[in-house]
A = this chain, B = another copy of it.
Amino acid sequence: MAVTGVLRPGFVQIRVMDLDEAIVHYRDNLGLDLVRQKDDFAYLRAYDEFDRHSVVLRQAEEPGLDVLGFKIISDAALADFAKRLNEMGVKTDDIAAGEHCGVGRRVRFSVPTGHVIDLYAEMELSDNGPMTKNPDIWREEPRGMRISRFDHCAVLGVDIAASAEIFEKALDFVVTERAIDPEGNPVAIFLTCSNKAHDIAFLAGPVDAKLHHASFLVESWNDVGHACDLIAQRNISLDIGPTRHGITRGQTVYFFDPSGNRNECFAGGYQHYPDNPVREWTVDQLGKAIFYYEKEVHARFTSVLT
């Protein structure tokens, strides 16, 4: 396989304070399909994903990120990654198949920034996924923000170099972009396991285990604008956008789910290959790096975290 090992961010499990309200947001605003609601959990999927679900919402007292799951190409590779993690001194836990509906066994570990990561090789296919026999471009016209996929998360914590190192050394991720302070410490590290400009981003901050945002893919700048129209007309809480990133070059809008978790609609971004040079940013250019148009970052973007 030319694309192998870790395939993609496969699911994100987000804590929400009112599950019904959260379902309305992710289903009707983002346009995800509700696959199943059971007990404190709701499972959702974007129209262009083959797997059974990519978003898990959990009813909880506080918002935030429970776990970020990465799909692995095979069970053998999963076993190998567990071994490599352990050899690096990263403790792993096994979660039995079926504990999440439709998901095979998971290897769970935590990174130094306090985020919980699951690796898994098996998930049931959706019975409503993209057509495979003389397929139409979609079964039904995408609705809401017309999200096609769950794309990535940006997470925040103290020792991002240590967390990124695990993704690089044990999981074969590649750094695509990096912002460095004058002392040479990273303030942001973007990593990919694919041809995408990023599959996970680590942002340096004073507290660990924080979710900065969960990002969802839309087709184009036009759909970013459409998402903004919906955000405004439906009184969804806007953070910033429409705008563009210097990092990744993606076109973007940020907003909040009803529990205060930050969402992103994202389009574009370059194709990345592992032979590409790393793109380096200095902190004096961090405004441009994050918001290419505004060239400055507003306080809420760095202070509101879940």
Q: Can you name 18 A-B pairs with beta carbons within 8 Å?
A: A2-B3, A2-B5, A2-B7, A2-B171, A2-B193, A3-B174, A3-B195, A3-B273, A4-B274, A7-B273, A133-B280, A134-B285, A149-B271, A194-B271, A217-B271, A228-B293, A232-B288, A232-B295
Q: A2-B192, A3-B274, A228-B244 are in contact. List 17 more A-B contacts (CB 8 A).
A: A1-B174, A1-B274, A2-B3, A2-B174, A4-B4, A73-B274, A131-B279, A133-B280, A133-B282, A135-B279, A148-B270, A217-B271, A232-B288, A232-B292, A232-B295, A242-B243, A242-B293
Residues of B contacting A1 with CB < 8 Å?
4-5, 172, 174, 274
CA–CA, A289 and B232, complex, Å: 11
The answer to the question of A222 belonging to the interface, with a C-beta cut-off of 8 Å to chain B, is: yes
Would B279 and A132 count as touching, CB distance under 8 A? yes
CA–CA, A141 and B145, complex, Å: 11
Would A2 and B273 count as touching, CB distance under 8 A? no
Residues of B contacting A230 with CB < 8 Å?
141
Would A276 and B50 count as touching, CB distance under 8 A? yes
Interchain residue pairs A-B with the least CB separation, the first 10: A2-B193, A134-B285, A195-B195, A2-B5, A222-B222, A132-B277, A136-B233, A132-B279, A220-B220, A137-B249
Q: Chain A 257-301 against B: per-residue CB contact (8 Å), 1 yes, 0 no?
A: 000000000001011011111111110010011001111000000
Would B270 and A130 count as touching, CB distance under 8 A? yes
Would B194 and A137 count as touching, CB distance under 8 A? no
CA–CA, A228 and B270, complex, Å: 18
Pick from B3, B220, B238: contact of A293, CB under 8 Å:
B238
The answer to the question of A71 belonging to the interface, with a C-beta cut-off of 8 Å to chain B, is: yes
Interface of A is mostly: loop
Chain B min CB distance to A106 (Å)? 16
Residues of B contacting A141 with CB < 8 Å?
229-230, 233
The answer to the question of A205 belonging to the interface, with a C-beta cut-off of 8 Å to chain B, is: no
Residues of B contacting A280 with CB < 8 Å?
132-134
Residues of B contacting A4 with CB < 8 Å?
1-2, 4-5, 274
CA–CA, A270 and B3, complex, Å: 15
Would B137 and A7 count as touching, CB distance under 8 A? no
CA–CA, A303 and B149, complex, Å: 38
Q: Chain A 123-146 against B: per-residue CB contact (8 Å), 1 yes, 0 no?
A: 001000011111111100100000
Chain B min CB distance to A50 (Å)? 5
CA–CA, A222 and B268, complex, Å: 13
